[in-house]
Structure 1
Amino acid sequence: MNDVTVTVSGFAGNTPALHTGKDKDFAMFRVASTRRYVNDVGDWTDGSTLWFTVKTWRTAAVNLARSVHKGDPVVVTGRLELDEWEDADGKSRSGLVIAATSVGVDATRGKVEFSRVVHQAALPGAPDQDGGLVTARAGDTDPFDLGAPRPGSDETDQADGPGAGQRELVTA
């Protein structure tokens, strides 16, 4: 395939807008990325700011709308695509959009709290209710458990204190 894949690091220019409709849910937001460099006299200088429109679909759109807020540092990876539409005056418009395959809050710029979203069908013994999302309760089996050492076991470093590294499954 000849897809153009890009990765952009920057800041959310707006809180993502979630659009729901008859086809499928999608969310869009803008990312500002400003290059910093050392100028001729050795001082750090801001370059021009590039603005990117980012679009996500389905469950990723819902997660994005709940997780990213204006001003948050983000890292976005996705396909560069041409988005075409008609404006309110009936004129044809187009623009480049990143169809995101990954969006994350940049943990190098602050503390990030993560909560995994679990589809009901992924939970052992869960009834199927139209593929809805559910919260796994304390003590439930983690369907994503990879056998990693648990906090408090002999194999983990306790320097982070009690409860460090524990995961909680929540409803999206």
Structure 2
Amino acid sequence: MAGEPLITVVGNLVADPEPRVSQAGKSWVTFRIASTPRVRDRQSGDWSDGEALWLGCRAYGEYADNIAATLTKGMRVIVQGRLTQQTYEKDGQQRTALNLEVEEVGPSLRFATAQVTRGQARSGGSGGVSGAGATGQAQNEWNAPQGGGGFDDEQPF
């Protein structure tokens, strides 16, 4: 649907992404994140974990392949997408799950580093991220575009 708002959530992957292939041969991936706020007790001044928000996430096509090849359980990620709601029954109880149809996803560099490698130039463009470590230092290493696609290229309009 057009006009749906995008939301952005920072959280941790609770399991490795699960790559799948549709009956039509198209790639897609599912993964789950948990976003847990830190809450400060005003009386004691201590910090504790608040209630976690659990979100199932889905992406399709080459994007799904990049996610499956890049992200792993425990990584802190930033995910932007369209929020959807699914109601189902489990053990005789009605439940609701929140999901994100992923528009953008990447590793958070707050507590890790990542090296970005660009994919081949395509109509939609793509790239991957590899080697997220816990050194706490952000790297600024960008591979030069191959076959065009750089910032200095003439715009098509």
Q: So what's the TM-score if we normalise by structure 1?
A: 0.64
Q: Tell me, yes or no, if structure 1 residue 67 matches structure 2 residue 70.
A: yes
Q: Which runs of 5+ in 2 are unaligned?
A: 125-142, 153-157
**CA distance in structure 2 between the aligned counterparts of 1:63 and 1:76, rounded to whole angstroms:** 14
* TM-align CA RMSD: 3.1
Greater fraction of residues in strand: 2
> What's the % identity of the aligned pairs?
27
Name the CA shift for 1:21/1:84 in 2 (closer, same or farther; >3 Å): farther
How far apart are 1:105 and its partner, in Å? Answer: 0.5
- Kindly indicate whether the alpha-carbon contact (under 8 Å) linking 2:11 and 2:76 is maintained by their aligned counterparts in 1: yes
Change (3 A) 1:139 1:51: closer
Distance 1:25 1:85 in 2: 25
Distance across 1 between alignment mates of 2:63 and 2:50: 32
Other structure's SS at 1:63 match? helix
CA distance in 2 between counterparts of 1:81 and 1:144 reads: 33
Q: Would the aligned equivalents of 2:12 and 2:77 in 1 still touch at CA under 8 Å?
A: yes
Q: Which amino acid aligns with 2:4?
A: D
Question: Where is the helix percentage greater, Structure 1 or Structure 2?
Answer: 1
Corresponding residue number in structure 1 for 2:130: none
1:116-157 deviation digits (Å, cap 9, x = unpaired): 1114679xxxxxxxxxxxxxxx9985412224xxxxxxxxxx
Tell me the secondary structure at the aligned position of residue 64 of structure 1.
helix
CA distance in 2, matches of 1:109, 1:115: 20
Unaligned segments of structure 1, at least 5 residues: 88-92, 123-137, 148-172
1:52 aligns with 2:44: no
Distance across 1 between alignment mates of 2:58 and 2:14: 13
**Equivalents in 2 of 1:140, 1:111: separation in Å?**
21
Larger Rg: 1
Task: Give the alignment's TM-score, normalised by structure 2.
Answer: 0.69
Task: Specify the alignment match of 1:10 in structure 2.
Answer: 11
Match of 2:81 in 1: 78
Matched with 1:146 is 151
AA in 2 matched with 1:12: L
Q: How has the CA–CA distance of structure 1 residues 33 and 108 changed in structure 2, closer, same or farther, with 3 Å as cutoff?
A: same
> Which residue number in structure 2 is paired with residue 101 of structure 1?
103
Moved over 4 A (4+): 83-87, 119-122, 138-142
Gap change, CA 1:42 and 1:2, over 3 Å in 2: same
1:112 aligned counterpart, secondary structure: strand
CA distance in 2, matches of 1:100, 1:55: 6
The count of residues paired between Structure 1 and Structure 2 equals: 129
